[in-house]
Amino acid sequence: MVARVHISRAAKNEILAWARQAEAREIGGLLLGRVRKTDSGMLVRVEAALQMREAGAVSTSFLLTPESVKNLGAEAQAKYPAFQVVGWFHTHAGLGVFLSNHDLAVHKASFPEPWQMALVLDTKLGQEAIYVWTDGELVQVNPAEMAAAVRESAATGALVSSRVRYRLKSPWRFSLAIVLSLLLVTALVTGAVRWIRKGVSEQLYPATSLEGVEGSREPTVGREAPPAEGPGDAASGPVASPAFPQGAAAGQRYIIRPGDTLWGISKRFYGVGELYPDLSDFNGLNNPRLVYPGQELVLPENLGGKALFALPNL
């Protein structure tokens, strides 16, 4: 026994559109969907409809034959392989929503399964009726009571058809949830990577300061100037210090930090970023645009006519 019937809005709208196009002529076709068995009865959900075009209208009856049902059933299986035939529909134009003797005979011959229903719509009167099998007879039921949405629950039984598959009620919400989840994960991963890189950078390159070197005007207070490395000594940082020119003017040492550029260093300590080529030449750099964290520079007391700002600590 059918306990509930739900006709999707898409299927109903499609049938009504066909009816408007046909004007006063009756139309009909198959109802396709899915079925579930529960303790209270069968739940039928109509997901799609397929119009029967070769059938004609005779008097108040929509002429449907077993052969036309068979042909349309094959088309339905090819077009909607996930659904099964759950019944049929046809329209009236001002005659009411009843099943004629011919309709009853067609239903009994072509739709004998207990879940297969008949939907009759009168588009002129704005009426509709649903007929279902009850104790071996076709009985009209109140569409308002039968049109309740089919609810999935733990008590739901086995599927009547193994070909049935389910669709999301709100696919756009599911897609939105996936996108938001991906954005959240990306933000978390990006933040974690930045935090790790910052920690590693602080360990490899501690806070850099300008340290006085021999001959500088303002040597570092409380510290000895680091000894100059011999010609054969390897630099202690991750990148070798450049070989300073012989007789270079006394200056202050500066250890390049992540994010530094020669233009920025020139701007910071001489007030003019455009002096970076002179700073590169003074330190014997091959490429003034390529510097590395940990690389050591000597900032001369005077560069291009600009005096070095005295900044003992950065």
**Residues 257-293 pLDDT 10s:** 999 999 999 999 999 999 999 999 999 998 888 888 9
Which token pair is 165?
């598959």
What is the reported pLDDT for 17?
92
What is the reported pLDDT for 146?
56
Q: Are 47 and 31 in contact (CB under 8 A)?
A: no
Q: What is the pTM of this model?
A: 0.46
Average pLDDT, stretch 166-180? 75
Instruction: Round to whole Å and give the CA distance between 300 and 307.
Output: 8
Alpha helix (H) residue ranges in the chain: 9-22, 66-79, 101-110, 143-146, 171-204, 262-270, 276-282
Taking the CA of residue 143 as centre, how many other CA atoms within 13 Å lie in the half-sphere pointing to its CB?
13
Taking the CA of residue 69 as centre, how many other CA atoms within 13 Å lie in the half-sphere pointing to its CB?
20
Instruction: Among 3.40.640.10, 3.10.350.10, 3.30.450.40, 3.40.50.1440, name the CATH number for the domain at 211-226+237-307.
Output: 3.10.350.10
Average pLDDT, the chain: 75
What is the domain class of 2-167 according to CATH?
alpha beta
What is the reported pLDDT for 170?
64
Domain ranges of the chain: 2-167, 168-204, 211-226+237-307
For the chain, state the CA radius of gyration. 42
Look at residue 186 and give its three-state secondary structure: helix
CA pseudo-torsion sign 69, 64, 128, 15? positive
Largest CA distance in the chain: 117
Which token pair is 187?
């933000």
Q: Are 25 and 65 in contact (CB under 8 A)?
A: no
What is the reported pLDDT for 70?
87
